[in-house]
Amino acid sequence: MSHYTANLRDIEFCLFDLLDRGSVLGRSIYGELDRETVMGMLEEMKRLSENDLAASFVEGDRLGVDFNPATGDAKLPPSFIKSYRAYMDNEWWRIDAPVEIGGTIIPASVRWAIAEMVLGSNPSVHIYASGTSFAHVAYALGNAQQKKLAQLMVDNDWGATMMLTEPDAGSDVGAGRSKAVEQADGTWHISGTKRFITSGDSDLNPNIIHYVLARREGGGPGTKGLSLFLIPKFMFDFETGALGKRNGVYVTKVEHKMGLNVSSTCEMNLGEKEPAVGYLLGDVHQGIAQMFKVIEFARMMVGTKAIATLSAGYQQALAYAKTRVQGGDMKVMNDKASPRVEIIRHPDVRRSLMVQKSYSEGMRALVLYTASIQDAIAIARAENEDSEKLEDLVALNDLLLPVVKGYGSEKSWTLLGTESLQTFGGSGFTQDWPLEQYVRDAKIDTLYEGTTAIQGLDFFFRKIVKDGGRALGLLGKEITTYAQAGGVNADEKAALLNSLGDLNAIVGVLVGHAMASQEKNDEIYKVGLNTSRCLMAVGDIITAWLLLRQADIATAKLPIAGKDLHFYEGKIASANFFVTNFLPHISADRKIVEATDNSIMEISDQAF
């Protein structure tokens, strides 16, 4: 039996009841789509993910990557290759390719709903299949020759990687030392070492295009001196795609990781054995801005992966709790003759399950709400809508991305270990159930593409301060309007409004410290001590808001619920539970932020 069960009913509810995605289908660039077509795609992905993709999930972890240090080649288990081919051969790559080179236009909300099922069933399939998304970047930003390269990547199923990290330059990308020297024929020779490169090599694809940040000769310091180069594993003919000689980019080591073991994470050497020939993307030296097109997609993917894994963990825990018989009902626990009950009847297990349910459903809504903003951006650009509206949408999307990635990954990893796995008791610590693999695989999500601390810093300094609070203000206004509207769940809406006030106070205190640091620079430490806390508070506010909106819809549908009666009851229960159990923490966070001083920064390093 598959380890994975897709929660398609909740995905459908989020897309069409909560976010009204039916209103964008049949319109503008999505004119050829309707709900029936979209649901057909989702149902087919449910079938594929629960069967073909999930089939190699465990074996891929156990066997991992077979690396040959002599040749620098990495090979994957045949069962995993079969799962990957099921995804690619059924042409799901089309949802990421530009329509001009064979892609299919679908709303981002539908794209990420599909991705949730892939990432929940076998995340490495989605990670290796990202070559089409990279091709999209080359097509959008490249010159005429590189647009041909994008077509070749799509037509020939070439893989791709993103090469940022170096051994001495992890999160500090601007400290990278990789060097690029221009050649007489317009190509570049790149030299250096990169580390932690996802999908650095495999036997899935005939060729791999590496997107590499390097500093051109004469390039200045920091990120502004970096350019983005496309470096193929094998040289090729731009007209026919025929492969030529091996290029000078080689894997020197595959990391031994605690999880996601079938995904090859590589150390890569450029230009040591022979020149690593590359092409400057778009003929412009704008490497970090270009790479952020990839990074933004990657952060959305990582957050979706984390949340999909939490949903899978909850489904496993729920099924186990309904069948595992252990102990008697607590209300008659002194009666030794009382019948034994399923553990779902025990109060703390029910509490734990509701924590998992509310967060997994609330954060699914967070992902799809963010994707719905991306839908609106795509339509606005296609219809040349006024620039101010488009700027607001772009700012809101930028604000939400670190929430999806940072908040989503942190909450999912924590809850998988403390609640989902815990439901199984001692059995959770064994490999008899997939939870231990979920926990290991999910930990990387808090580290990938910028740690949670980096997401918090980015969120506060770039998405709030640099933005002048515009996007946060727009979101806050929408939540306030909802919370003040009255109707059902009035007490919960009042609690949401109160928590929003606490959040605004937190942001105000941190902005005050940031401004004060202009005069007294160590005041900035008080901001750094609380940016992750601020990010988590924003995530809880948005999650509560989206859960309450779902509860309102469910309340209205209860009289005509039919077979969905329990589904709607669950929606109301999870919203009420979340508001009661998690929003009060924001008031406590406010007190902590207001009381923050620099004492922790003033003690000696030796005191730790």
* Cβ–Cβ < 8 Å for 141, 148: no
- For residue 264, count other CB atoms closer than 10 A to its CB: 28
User: Nearest CA to 498 among 521, 470, 523, 479?
Assistant: 479
How far is the C-alpha of 275 from the C-alpha of 253, rounded, in Å?
19
User: Nearest CA to 432 among 421, 442, 441, 443?
Assistant: 421
CA 322 to chain centre: 30
Tokens of 401: 């991305």
How far is the C-alpha of 545 from the C-alpha of 127, rounded, in Å?
31
DSSP class of residue 166 equals B
How far is the C-alpha of 324 from the C-alpha of 185, rounded, in Å?
69
pLDDT of residue 232: 98
* Cβ–Cβ < 8 Å for 539, 408: yes
What is the greatest pairwise CA distance in the chain?
Answer: 88
User: Nearest CA to 508 among 527, 495, 493?
Assistant: 527
Tokens of 333: 């626990």
How far is the C-alpha of 393 from the C-alpha of 474, rounded, in Å?
10
DSSP class of residue 284 equals S
Average of per-residue pLDDT values in the chain: 96
User: Nearest CA to 513 among 529, 502, 527, 503?
Assistant: 527
How far is the C-alpha of 305 from the C-alpha of 309, rounded, in Å?
6
DSSP-derived secondary structure for 407-453: IHHHHHHHHIIIIITGGGGGGGGSTTSTHHHHHHHHHGGGTTTS-HH
User: Nearest CA to 158 among 106, 201, 100, 114?
Assistant: 201
* Cβ–Cβ < 8 Å for 43, 50: no
* Cβ–Cβ < 8 Å for 73, 203: yes
CA 284 to chain centre: 29
pLDDT of residue 175: 85
User: Nearest CA to 189 among 65, 80, 272?
Assistant: 272
Find the helix packing angle between 584-595 and 565-582, rounded to 10°.
Answer: 20
Q: Which pairs from 420-424 meet CB under 8 Å and 24+ separation?
A: 420/310, 420/313, 420/314, 420/316, 420/317, 420/356, 421/313, 421/317, 422/352, 423/317, 423/320, 423/321, 423/343, 423/349, 423/352, 423/353, 424/317, 424/320
pLDDT of residue 268: 96
226: phi then psi, degrees, rounded to nearest 5: -90, 145
71: phi then psi, degrees, rounded to nearest 5: -105, -20
Catalytic choice (116, 449, 492, 594):
449
Secondary structure of residue 193 in the 3-state scheme: strand
Q: Within the chain, which residues score under 50 in pLDDT? A: none
Q: How far is CA 535 from CA 169, 175, 483, 528, 574, in A?
A: 25, 27, 21, 12, 22
Which positions ≥6 away from 355 have C-beta within 8 Å?
415, 419, 577, 581
DSSP class of residue 587 equals H
User: Nearest CA to 159 among 134, 190, 196?
Assistant: 134
CA dihedral 220, 226, 227, 231 (to 10 degrees): 130
Residue 44 known to be catalytic? no
Q: How far is CA 570 from CA 5, 18, 240, 314, in A?
A: 18, 15, 56, 14
pLDDT of residue 336: 78
pLDDT of residue 439: 98
Domains located in the chain, CATH noted: 8-134 (1.10.540), 158-285 (2.40.110.20), 293-599 (1.20.140.10)
Tokens of 283: 């003929």
Secondary structure of residue 27 in the 3-state scheme: coil
Residue 580 gets the label, from left (phi > 0), alpha (psi -120 to 50) or beta, of alpha
Tokens of 153: 């990547």
How far is the C-alpha of 365 from the C-alpha of 15, rounded, in Å?
9
| H or E element that contains 517 | none
The partner residues of 253 in beta bridges, in order of sequence, read 267
The partner residues of 330 in beta bridges, in order of sequence, read none
DSSP class of residue 121 equals H
| H or E element that contains 375 | helix 347-382
Q: How far is CA 576 from CA 275, 445, 476, in A?
A: 61, 28, 21
How far is the C-alpha of 484 from the C-alpha of 112, rounded, in Å?
31
Residue 50 gets the label, from left (phi > 0), alpha (psi -120 to 50) or beta, of alpha
pLDDT (tens digit per residue) in 462-498: 999 999 999 999 999 999 999 999 899 999 999 999 9
Residue 282 gets the label, from left (phi > 0), alpha (psi -120 to 50) or beta, of left
* Cβ–Cβ < 8 Å for 540, 582: yes
DSSP-derived secondary structure for 149-162: HHHHHHHTT-EEEE
Tokens of 469: 């609070």
Tokens of 584: 């009060």
Q: Do strands 249-254 and 159-163 pair parallel, antiparallel, or not at all (unpaired)? A: unpaired
CA 19 to chain centre: 20
